[in-house]
């Protein structure tokens, strides 16, 4: 698979605090940040079920000309963005690092495919959107190489 094909792949990206760290994530902070970025975006808090305990905040966020869906959980702490490209994930990660992740606290990422391939979580560096995109593309290439 060539680089242009990998750039078009869509998967779920999962962002979490590094082991032993916390972002102090709250649904109120997430709601405020989403509303500031996208006043028309949707937010829905779902209570857990017997099979999936704990609450989940579902949200919509516009990246470019698309509105994508994501989820935030307090336990385990993290935020995910569904069905997105590496470029969209990079824009989202930069926003997340600027609005939700406290300064100096590392964040990690993985993808649905990375988890399926047994790849460990990777550090999401505090770099520009193009730098994050390159990290995410390299991760996708590793998932393709595993299959």
3-state secondary structure of 143: helix
From 108, 103, 142, select the one nearest 124 (Cα to Cα): 108
Q: Which H or E run contains 16?
A: strand 11-17
Q: For residue range 14-67, what is the model confidence (pLDDT) as tens digits?
A: 999 999 999 999 999 999 999 999 888 899 998 866 666 678 999 999 998 899
34 touches 127 (CB < 8 A): no
pLDDT bucket at 12, cuts 50 / 70 / 90 = very high
Q: For residue range 99-137, what is the model confidence (pLDDT) as tens digits?
A: 999 999 999 999 999 999 999 999 999 999 999 999 999
- How do the domains of the chain map onto residue ranges? 11-146
- The pLDDT value recorded for residue 113 is 94
22 touches 77 (CB < 8 A): yes
- The pLDDT value recorded for residue 51 is 64
């Amino acid at each position: 698979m060539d680089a242009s094909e990998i750039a078009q792949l869509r998967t779920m990206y999962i962002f979490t605090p590094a082991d032993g760290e916390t972002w102090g994530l709250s649904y109120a902070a997430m709601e405020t940040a989403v509303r500031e970025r996208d006043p028309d975006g949707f937010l829905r808090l779902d209570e857990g079920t017997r099979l999936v305990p704990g609450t989940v905040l579902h949200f919509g966020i516009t990246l470019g000309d698309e509105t994508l869906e994501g989820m935030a959980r307090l336990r385990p702490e993290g935020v995910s963005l569904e069905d997105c490209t590496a470029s969209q994930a990079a824009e989202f990660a930069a926003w997340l690092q600027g609005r939700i992740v406290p300064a100096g606290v590392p964040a990690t990422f993985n993808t649905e495919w990375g988890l399926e391939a047994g790849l460990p979580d990777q550090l999401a560096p505090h770099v520009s959107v193009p730098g994050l995109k390159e990290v995410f593309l390299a991760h996708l290439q590793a998932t393709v190489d595993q299959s």
